[in-house]
Amino acid sequence: MKRDFRFYKVASGDWYIDFPEWKGDPKDLQMIQGADEWLDLVSNQTEVVLSISDQPFDEADYLTLIRLGEPNLGGGGNYFLHQYNGKDVNLKIWLCEIVEFVFDQYPQRIYFKVS
């Protein structure tokens, strides 16, 4: 499954995903713990659209699952971005349960490309 997602930065500098079908806590839409740094890296502005998939596609970079988060510590998945655009990045990223909502699991790799 490949899908485009819009991310936007608010005046405070916090990043959010535009995800209207999410019925959980709106705070879950904030990109934190490395995900905000990831979005700063792929965007030189206050908004970016990423094509995201659990399957490889042309010119996509990817995040690799390191381990699942402990349920009593917020759950989610801990991912690692080794390279972006051929340059070493070595960025740890925590992604919340929205990943599982989208993919029905925490994929071993999440492929992405700026649209």
Tens-binned pLDDT, residue by residue, of the chain (115 aa): 899 999 999 999 999 999 999 888 888 899 999 999 999 999 988 999 999 999 999 999 999 999 997 776 677 899 999 999 999 999 999 998 899 999 999 999 999 999 8
Distance CA 70, CA 49 (A): 29
90 is in which domain, residue-wise? 2-114
The torsion angle over the Cα atoms of residues 28, 32, 88 and 8, rounded to 10 degrees, is 70
**Helix (H/G/I), strand (E/B), else coil: 40:** helix
| Number of compact structural domains in the chain | 1
Sheet holding 87-95, edge to edge: 30-31, 15-18, 2-9, 47-53, 109-114, 61-68, 77-84, 87-95
Distance CA 55, CA 18 (A): 22
Distance CA 115, CA 49 (A): 6
pLDDT at 26: 85
For residue 17, list its beta bridge partners: 7
